[in-house]
Chain A
């Protein structure tokens, strides 16, 4: 159909004198789950923030849905934002609103629908995210870590985005919770025809969900491939990352599961 949802060309990012990205290239294909991995400080979160247009790149170009974003008017950026849903690492739910109000908030702001329909829609998203109806009236402070993540996903899906961003979706979840969350992401991707970009540190999650993995190092994407291919890569840095014991165990677990 249209161009790749995200194409990053020669991205440069600097914070003061610290260079985070030097000539980074990345392409996200429609309908895939792309995981961005790399050591701490390799600029994963910075890349995510650049793609989300929260920060302006120092150089290079990020093309979203075929539209270059470097010099975008506020109105055009807003149209792009409506097509993207973001789940922040700690949920970033509005503490003064209940879960249902959190989900309904972007719908209320953008769509001109009756309050009843907005409520129904928010409840639908709540259900899709696997939350019980009783959670609707609760405040974020009354939720467990796993429920906060699910509520954050439900809010990210409020406007039926084409692109879903997940920042460390399984961090802070117990293994069972993380596995359930990964299943949820796979299911939602299928159901809602999403393209998912996730930053993750969780090897299990990587093996379970990612179609492709972009490995960030030295301010560049070193390689983009399936997890299995990356794990077999001869490149020393990628080897080091994937040979960490946790990675090995995760791989064995997934194989056994299959």
Chain B
């Protein structure tokens, strides 16, 4: 079989057929005729549409001729039909005169039938939207609580028989949520430590109290920054992927398939993630604390001239042990919030792929919000117990 070159004569001849000729029309007042020519196809119509919309004819009987038209499709026929309709209202009767049979068939096909346009959607008013939003938030809150309760019920028998827990999957999740997040969390916390020492060091130096930078850095990082920043990064990194994963499974009906196999989706999709994050988040927080202290220590040395030795000696002497534990106690709670919110939003996905994206956003926003709320509550509780 020989290959014809694309730019040969044959191809050019075909292109003539491919590229539409603009649609044209002319008004012949003497014959009371409207004559159309050119290609009346969808891609050639823009040449005449505005002019046809404005066309005015003297009232009476006019003849429509489409004989010179090379090609007509349903778009062309629809436009002609609209024209006839409009002119009829202005007292002009446009009668097909020289119209080939196939064009007549198209005109018949595209004649608009009663029914017409559906009413466009009326966007709801601001009050309605506020009400819907409120109800939606309340409903979401209830659903989250229900999800938590349902999960607890399903998890309880499993926790009594730990051999039934899918440990392999737990390990994989720890790797994914924990080990893979080490570099980014380390880098960020190091920088946070540097910034805290830098910003706090200058006022302290003015009062000649540079040495207190040790307490400042350690308290801030161990009690607040370490747990909080780690939780926020994990919520963005891992919580979102939980939502996307479960949401996609929801769209492809994999979750339904699990149910019909008699496997509780919670057991296989949520519990391993929950256990994994309960392990990974505290570990990540310890690592974050170390890197944060390191950053603060280096900044203190270069800015305030407080040596690493001094820093490390003062750290245990001046800070109670509780500083570390107060921070660490929060991390399992954060882990539970991130997993449950992420999975909850995943299970809420209904229908399309677009929903998955929306659910992911909602999940990250909600889990970060709840993490910060929980952190504030912890502060109040610790304050009461004077920790």
Contact A96–B354 (Cβ < 8 Å): yes
Residues A3-51 near B (CB distance < 8 A): 9-10
A111 partner residues in chain B, CB cutoff 8 A: 42-43, 45-46, 75
Taking beta carbons and an 8 Å cutoff, which residues of B are in contact with A? 1, 3-4, 6, 10-11, 13-15, 17-19, 41-43, 45-46, 49-50, 53, 73-75, 78-79, 82, 102, 105, 109-110, 112-113, 115-118, 121, 351-354
Known: A111-B42, A137-B121. A79 touches B18 (CB 8 A): yes
- Asked if A198 is at the interface (CB within 8 A of a chain B CB), the reply is no
A-B contact pairs, 29 of them (CB 8 A): A10-B1, A67-B6, A68-B11, A70-B6, A79-B19, A83-B18, A95-B351, A95-B353, A95-B354, A96-B352, A107-B42, A112-B46, A113-B42, A113-B75, A114-B49, A117-B79, A120-B78, A120-B82, A120-B112, A120-B117, A121-B78, A123-B117, A128-B109, A134-B118, A141-B352, A160-B41, A160-B42, A160-B74, A191-B105
Stretch at the interface among A58-66, A164-172, A214-222, A229-237: A58-66
CA distance A133 to B42 in the complex (A): 22
Contact B49–A117 (Cβ < 8 Å): yes
B78 partner residues in chain A, CB cutoff 8 A: 117, 120-121, 124
Known: A110-B43, A124-B110. A70 touches B73 (CB 8 A): no
- Asked if A245 is at the interface (CB within 8 A of a chain B CB), the reply is no
Contact B352–A9 (Cβ < 8 Å): no
Contact A68–B6 (Cβ < 8 Å): yes
CA distance A73 to B5 in the complex (A): 12
Instruction: Among B75, B79, B82, B352, point to the contact of A160 (Cβ < 8 A).
Output: B75
Contact A68–B115 (Cβ < 8 Å): no
CA distance A65 to B42 in the complex (A): 19
Nearest A residue (CB) for B8 = A68
Contact A113–B49 (Cβ < 8 Å): yes
Contact B75–A121 (Cβ < 8 Å): yes
Residues A62-113 near B (CB distance < 8 A): 65-68, 70-73, 76, 79-80, 82-83, 95-96, 107, 110-113
A140 partner residues in chain B, CB cutoff 8 A: 352
B4 partner residues in chain A, CB cutoff 8 A: 61, 68
- Asked if A189 is at the interface (CB within 8 A of a chain B CB), the reply is no
Known: A65-B17, A68-B6, A193-B102. A113 touches B46 (CB 8 A): yes
Nearest A residue (CB) for B47 = A112
A81 CB to nearest chain B CB (Å): 11
